[in-house]
Amino acid sequence: MTLYKTHGGPDSLGPITDDFSTNANGAGPCPITLEALINTTHTAYPDPNYTALKELLAQWHQVPVQRIVLAASASEFIYRMSAHIAKQANNQVSIRPQVYLPRYSYSDYKNAAEAWSLATVTTSQDANLIWVCDPSTPFGETSRSIGALIDSLKAQQICVLDRAYDPLRLSGESALNQTQLDQVWQLWSPNKALGLTGIRAAYAIAPKAAIALIAELELLAPSWPLGVDGVSLLLSWAKYETHMWLQESLNSLREWKVQQLQRCQAMGWEIYPSETNFYCAKPPVNDLCHLLFQLRQSGIKLRDTLSFGLADCVRIAVLPPASQIRLCQAWQSISPPTEKLYAR
């Protein structure tokens, strides 16, 4: 049995000229991180304890180093945390553990729950594990309800706040205060903000009261979850110069986003509100799958939002004007199908 997981980015059809399907920073890659990767030595293992990296990340976030937990990627951490919940259940005689998922959310939350036979629920009240994302995906909006959810957490509940898109806010700000942040696991995956999604590396900041769980998650990790490129990326992330570049890139993205929204609206696409470098849109077609196939044949890739729980829409990253123009030209060359030619 072959399992196909839905993600943006490259596929079996070869190179993509204009990839709108990922949330990578369209103004990247970050030159500071690229230089660090070029100067990375690949002939030796990284420090198995990642001492210097953890210390730098702890200093950057102003937290004790014990609260830094490294991961091979955000998805690896999602699966590892889910494994912990399943293991915890095996040690107790109890009902099937429950995992809360937002109505629209990253599919790996659900995939990991299914892999470990955890029940998914739509209310957080009795959930053992709670996933939230701010800004959200696929919409890229700030959630105003997460604060109340965090305030209502019970002592035994684990809440993970996915902050993958926080560095890519183009407007708005988090509604969470420091007290609330200290109660949850903050999951960071900077490769998107740096425009280097091919480097898989992430880390989590543990809640203040999670010492025992930190040790458990470290035990569940293999040796060297991060290779030397991942280490270099995260070391670069925790530098002032990198964030200066990031702020400049956000200025470019803001300008490009205005232009791209105007172009999408001119094509008749319905646009959903967004505060990030990506947004959702609904093209005026009867068969979205066929449209995406036609665009892909033209070297343009968009991602449908079905895996997030949202039908008939696409999630689009903001790209430079040249890519936007090619999207418009491809759209103009396509006659929108009037009947469903391909099964969803």
With cut-offs at 50, 70 and 90, classify the pLDDT of residue 15. confident
Mean pLDDT value across residues 107-114: 96
pLDDT per residue over 130-185, tens digit each? 999 999 999 999 988 999 999 999 999 999 999 999 999 999 999 999 999 999 99
Lowest average pLDDT, out of 176-190, 226-240, 306-320, 324-338, goes to 324-338
Distance (Å, rounded) from C-alpha 317 to C-alpha 314? 10
pLDDT of residue 143: 86
Mean pLDDT value across residues 257-272: 97
pLDDT of residue 336: 55
**Matching residue, tokens 């070297």:** 299
pLDDT per residue over 57-72, tens digit each? 999 999 999 999 999 9
Beta carbons within 10 angstroms of residue 316's beta carbon: 25
Mean pLDDT value across residues 303-307: 94
Mean pLDDT for the chain overall = 93
CA distances in angstroms from 298 to 17, 134, 267, 285, 328, listed in the order given? 8, 33, 17, 18, 11
Q: What is the pTM of this model?
A: 0.93
Distance (Å, rounded) from C-alpha 50 to C-alpha 259? 43
pLDDT score of 13 more than 90: no
pLDDT score of 93 more than 60: no
pLDDT per residue over 218-250, tens digit each? 999 999 999 999 999 999 999 999 999 999 999
pLDDT of residue 284: 94
287, 341 Cβ separation under 8 angstroms: yes
Mean pLDDT value across residues 79-103: 86
Angle between helices 228-237 and 51-61 (to 10 degrees): 20
pLDDT of residue 95: 73
